[in-house]
């Protein structure tokens, strides 16, 4: 990878191939634990709103989408998993590299039986797990095929394709693998396929979003990831801060909490009906733990503000999604989709 950092790509990229200025292939990456699958699913729902059709693609074989939509494990087949407000539809596909390879062989060489023979010999295993990048070529290739696919009337089969992609640390290599493979296989169908995929991935048709939390490591990885994507000339989309906790104490509260007499707090707690304010009383005994929680909150809040500032310097559109108090479920997913729409992501 070269060390040249080109100017950040302007957003939104001019709507060359994209519909309404929104890229048709939306790649969602993020550090492990930041909820990138959730964000990808919410984005697919948001993009499907008002009669659109989106395809949500999973490439890591974890069946995260099925779990999120509370359905059984997804087969290697595009199937409808959700209906969006206004009649839109979300389809999902869990890409299995082995089946994608056999698919590919079938498509290009009509090699049904030979495919099985290859499998017996371990060639499929070789191709999908050991051969450099072939697996990633198949995964990105399948996603790009879905982006470009048209129905009989010449319309795109899907308005948008959203990919739940590998984590930030691997995303550039994953998307760029076709470049590398095109370099390795300098001729032949793999070479051509790799180049075709790269043309889609490096165009404004694609946007790579990074999901982060307001914590040091994910933010650092996001900054590193963006630099790498820029260096590889892959189109960076937006930064989505996930699981943002609600603001519980404002600046005045945080100031006051450092100086307020404990007795005043005890009395206020007592006034609220939580027991005696006197030493040893129920209300009085709440003061210390509550103050400790406030101190933790203040520390965390300060750290979060620091990380917000770091993200602000990335010069990319920044979005925040709330932490859902009840944990993640299907209803929460629709909530996040609505939030994404409100914030103009779809």
Within residues 257-296, the interface with other proteins by CB under 8 A covers 257-261, 263-265, 267-274, 277, 286, 288-296
Q: Helix, strand or coil for residue 84?
A: strand
- Site membership for other proteins, residue 33 (CB under 8 A): yes
Rounded to the nearest 10 degrees, the angle between the axes of helix 168-184 and helix 216-231 is 20
Within residues 42-101, the interface with other proteins by CB under 8 A covers 60-62, 64, 67
Residue number with CB closer to other proteins (14 or 251): 251
Q: Which stretch binds other proteins (CB under 8 A): 2-10, 150-158, 229-237, 321-329?
A: 321-329
Q: How many angstroms separate the CA atoms of 136 and 141, rounded?
A: 8
Q: Which stretch binds other proteins (CB under 8 A): 70-78, 133-141, 145-153, 227-235?
A: 133-141
Within 8 A by CB and 6+ apart from 144, the residues are 25, 196, 197, 200, 201
Which of 65, 59, 95, 22 is CA-nearest to residue 170?
A: 59
- Site membership for other proteins, residue 167 (CB under 8 A): yes
Closest approach, Cβ 255 to other proteins, in A, equals: 5
Rg from Cα positions in the chain? 24
Residue number with CB closer to other proteins (157 or 291): 291
Within residues 219-238, the interface with other proteins by CB under 8 A covers 220
Q: Do 297 and 249 contact (CB within 8 A), yes or no?
A: yes
Which of 245, 254, 249, 256 is CA-nearest to residue 307?
A: 245
**Prior bond to 35 cis, omega within 30?**
no
Closest approach, Cβ 253 to other proteins, in A, equals: 5
Residue number with CB closer to other proteins (83 or 117): 117
- Tokens representing 97 are 């590299």
Residue number with CB closer to other proteins (103 or 159): 103
Residue number with CB closer to other proteins (83 or 302): 302
Task: Single out the residue of 8, 12, 85, 169 in contact with other proteins (rule: CB under 8 A).
Answer: 169
Q: Do 194 and 181 contact (CB within 8 A), yes or no?
A: yes
Residue number with CB closer to other proteins (12 or 322): 322
Task: Single out the residue of 118, 143, 239, 337 in contact with other proteins (rule: CB under 8 A).
Answer: 118
């Amino acid at each position: 990878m070269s060390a040249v950092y080109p100017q950040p790509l302007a957003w939104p990229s001019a709507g060359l191939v994209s519909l309404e200025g929104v890229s048709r292939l939306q790649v969602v990456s993020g550090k492990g634990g930041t909820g990138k699958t959730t964000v990808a699913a919410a984005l697919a729902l948001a993009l499907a709103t008002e009669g659109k059709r989106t395809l949500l693609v999973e490439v890591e074989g974890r069946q995260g989408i099925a779990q999120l939509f509370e359905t059984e494990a997804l087969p290697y087949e595009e199937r409808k998993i959700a209906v969006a407000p206004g009649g839109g539809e979300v389809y999902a596909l869990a890409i299995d590299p082995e089946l994608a390879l056999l698919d590919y062989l079938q498509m290009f060489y009509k090699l049904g039986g030979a495919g099985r023979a290859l499998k017996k010999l371990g060639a499929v295993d070789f191709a999908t797990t050991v051969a450099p990048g072939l697996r990633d070529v198949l995964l990105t290739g399948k996603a790009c095929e879905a982006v470009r696919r048209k129905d009989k009337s010449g319309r795109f089969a899907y308005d948008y394709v959203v990919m739940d992609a590998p984590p930030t640390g691997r995303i550039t290599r994953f998307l760029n693998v076709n470049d590398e493979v095109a370099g390795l296989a300098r001729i032949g169908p793999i070479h051509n396929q790799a180049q075709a995929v790269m043309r889609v991935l490096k165009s404004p048709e694609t946007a790579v979003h990074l999901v982060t939390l307001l914590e040091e490591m994910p933010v650092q990885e996001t900054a590193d990831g963006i630099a790498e994507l820029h260096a590889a000339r892959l189109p960076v989309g937006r930064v989505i801060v996930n699981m943002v906790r609600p603001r519980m104490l404002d600046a005045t509260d945080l100031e006051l909490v450092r100086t307020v007499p404990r007795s005043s707090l005890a009395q206020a707690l007592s006034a609220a009906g939580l027991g005696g304010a006197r030493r040893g009383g129920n209300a009085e005994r709440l003061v210390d733990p509550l103050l400790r929680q406030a101190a933790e909150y203040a520390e965390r809040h300060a750290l979060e503000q620091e990380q917000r500032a770091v993200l602000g310097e990335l010069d990319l559109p920044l979005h925040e999604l709330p932490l859902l108090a009840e944990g993640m479920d299907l209803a929460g997913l629709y909530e996040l989709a609505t939030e994404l729409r409100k914030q103009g992501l779809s």
